[in-house]
Structure 1
């Protein structure tokens, strides 16, 4: 349940989202004013929150040869990509569409890594022509196809093999990626043979090793275990005469959705670097691929209460945001804090907060204590990651607008879709 929140309270884990004089604000901007200007549902992001999260990683890696590649599947809005590119980030992409987005905002191709289990030949050609810095290879079959495509293009593809270390990230099964039963990567015990095969293929050049064990990880132990297993492999691979120039430890660091206490990025990297140094790999170039931890707590979704529907077993607070706007609760049974933009002094009632989509799975929060009336505005917190980027047009619902806040200023970074936008490419 949501605990009652004072109109002057700070929101834990979200220093750039707070109440002031009874109004919820992002940085110095009143969210109610943005809702009046742009309508609801509405996504709002804090520039300062994104840069503060990035700075923690940069601080943790200071003095090391490193590259932070933002995992843009978390939120691929162009303005956010431009903000991170300007701050020195590279990008972790998983499709040619994401490649185009990264290049559109001026990303350096050499600072792009192409991940994903299902790269098509067309996508490989596009990435080779663009000059991406590395392909993270996820299967033996992909090795062979990329070699053939690279030779057809007269190119040599820089490659890193994504190793599946069989480490339990202790997260939701849908976002765990480092266990034997997951579709990602090449099994730890098969990795050396895969590297030996890659080294024989003329269209490929081995440059690194990659490991990513999951998302929303809140403990350091899985990272340390995965690091040890990867470093064991690097030792074996180099003993076989294949040089590893960079080590990519992926991303996956969690955020505070509901009282979770993941390690701070700089503290986590202090521990990982300590282990790296102790094992004699401190001089290697490091690559990491954070996503959620850079943008997740920077975002809120504003939604308007439409109806209150009391029931014998449940009370429903029906809002204008839905599972097509915020898929995480329906997809993962994920928890997001939900708070009023202007808290009332009325006694709270326990509601399920639900949307208008015709699915029983269309809910944003269950059993939430809220003092609300129709017309009130609510903020769904921690929606900067895997919300707009996973949204859809189910029920022919146009996707929301997006706004980026910078101090006392705000600007529209994506216009709200119209219904006509949705069928622009259709033929009756």
Structure 2
């Protein structure tokens, strides 16, 4: 979203026009930004045989998935349902990495039947996989490197107390299981969390994977997960992906020479690709002054964007209806019957009832984590592509709330 001649616009389109056509609240995504972020990563790691596998859980709208597939992305999924969405969007099974956490083994079997790359994160499942498939179907192993990284404990996944991955200290048990069932391991995977700004974290992961790789002679790829940090507010430190690309691809290519053949280098970015593309447009219902705080109540809340309440995530909030207004301090809250703060103590251009506000960086884990809490409808989604606003999901209706309920005589 840019301020052009005193008016905020998304790819040249006035947000007010979008809300007039599609209603409020409204999720709006910028296709150009999504494609640009994907290209940035592919360019940064171009010196290797890189595969960018978009983490579907960040935003699963079929139109977004189709855009990414057309732009040269592969995809990472964490459920059979995400896998089915990926296939519906046109991804080939070979492009899909399935990395579940604690799922029923029958779901893993279903993903094997679909021909997906399977990534296993616990010894119990690895043993079951080996008993059923032995060397007839390869799999990857997700490892826990015992590295604390990322901007928030709730989104850090590689530390010693994380549920994700098989501990690197359990390598003897891994090798025993692989040998006992003649399992063919074709990949090693590490993901330590989100909002990682230091290249050194990825280089530490590389050292761990490179050291373990000699135990697995059939590798085709190494997967470094993601966690690339994007800016949520002015002055934020972000991941220097070009610096990381130079350092990591150099180390990776040197490893491949020693390993004896060239492997693929995989990443699974979600937030990095779609976060900055997204805006949640909301309408101001009430401006409520108290002796200590001025609240701005809007027609949305944690049912549409839970990250501020769940992760203390920061989303820049701007008043698109009064961009030149005097800056005043507000706490922006939702209409949910809970503590429902979208942004506390923010300096925003003077807000009046009826004004349209935009929450930035709403592309990742916004709609995909939305709910019907308080029996509220989930919003519509719009994609700005080729200069046009395209509806890619309709706003829910009361009939949607009733769709799967079964009324019985009481």
Fold conserved between structures, TM > 0.5: yes
The corresponding residue for 1:176 is: 156
1:348 corresponding residue in structure 2? 327
Q: 1:56 aligns with which of 26, 40, 50?
A: 40
Q: 1:274 aligns with which of 219, 242, 250?
A: 250
1:220 aligns with 2:199: yes
> Does residue 338 of structure 2 align to residue 363 of structure 1?
no
Question: What is the CA–CA distance in structure 1 between the aligned matches of 2:110 and 2:358, rounded to whole Å?
Answer: 40
Matching residue of 2:30: 46
Aligned to 1:8: none
Gaps of 5+ in 2: none
**Rounded Cα–Cα distance in structure 1 between residues aligned with 2:386 and 2:314:** 28
Any idea what SS the aligned residue of 1:352 has? strand
Instruction: State the SS of the aligned residue for 1:321.
Output: coil
SS at 2:374's partner residue?
coil
In structure 2, what is the equivalent of residue 200 of structure 1? 180
Shift in Å, 1:148: 4.3
Once the two structures are superposed, residues 249-283 of structure 1 have per-residue CA deviations (whole angstroms, 9 ceiling, x without a partner) of: 11111110123222243332122112223445583
Alignment match, 1:99: 83
SS state at 1:34 partner: helix
- Tell me by how many angstroms 1:136 deviates: 1.2
Q: Is contact 2:8–2:323 with CA below 8 Å preserved after alignment?
A: no
Within a 5 Å distance, the mapping from 1:15-414 to structure 2 comes to 17-132=1-116, 134-150=117-133, 156-201=136-181, 204-235=183-214, 237-238=215-216, 242-258=217-233, 259-280=235-256, 283-360=262-339, 362-370=340-348, 371-414=350-393
8 Å CA contact retained: 1:159, 1:208: yes
Alignment correspondent of 1:4: none
Q: Is the 8 A contact 1:28 1:407 kept in 2?
A: no
Q: 1:199/1:343 Cα in 2 relative to 1: closer, same or farther (>3 Å)?
A: farther
Distance in structure 2 (CA, Å) of the matches to 1:281 and 1:162: 23
The alpha carbon displacement at 1:150 in A equals 4.2
Residue 347 of structure 1 and its aligned partner are, at CA, apart by 2.6
Please tell me the root mean square deviation across aligned C-alpha atoms, in Å. 1.7
**Would the aligned equivalents of 1:192 and 1:233 in 2 still touch at CA under 8 Å?**
no
Q: 2:132 & 2:7 partners in 1: Cα distance?
A: 56
User: What secondary structure is seen at the aligned counterpart in 2 of 1:349?
Assistant: strand
Q: Is contact 1:213-1:252 (8 Å) kept?
A: yes
Question: What is the TM-score of this pair, normalised by structure 2?
Answer: 0.94
Q: Distance in 1 between matches of 2:109 and 2:138?
A: 13
Aligned partners of 1:391 and 1:399 also within 8 Å? yes
Runs of 4+ in 1 over 4 A off after TM superposition: 148-151, 278-282
Aligned pairs, number: 402
Deviation at 1:192, TM superposition (A): 4.7
- 1:230 Cα shift? 1.4
CA distance in 2, matches of 1:345, 1:67: 44
Cα distance between partner residues in 2 of 1:230 and 1:192: 15
Deviation at 1:149, TM superposition (A): 4.8
Deviations 1:100-136 (A, max 9, x none): 100101111011111122122231122111100x211
- Residue 402 of structure 2 corresponds to 423
Give the alignment's TM-score, normalised by structure 1: 0.90
Structure 1 unaligned residues grouped into runs of 5+: 1-16
Cα distance, 1:349 vs structure 2? 2.3
Contact 2:6–2:323 (CA under 8 A) maintained in structure 1: no
For each residue in 1:124-160, what CA deviation from the matched residue of structure 2 results, as whole angstroms up to 9, or x when unmatched?
122111100x211111001122334547xxx933211
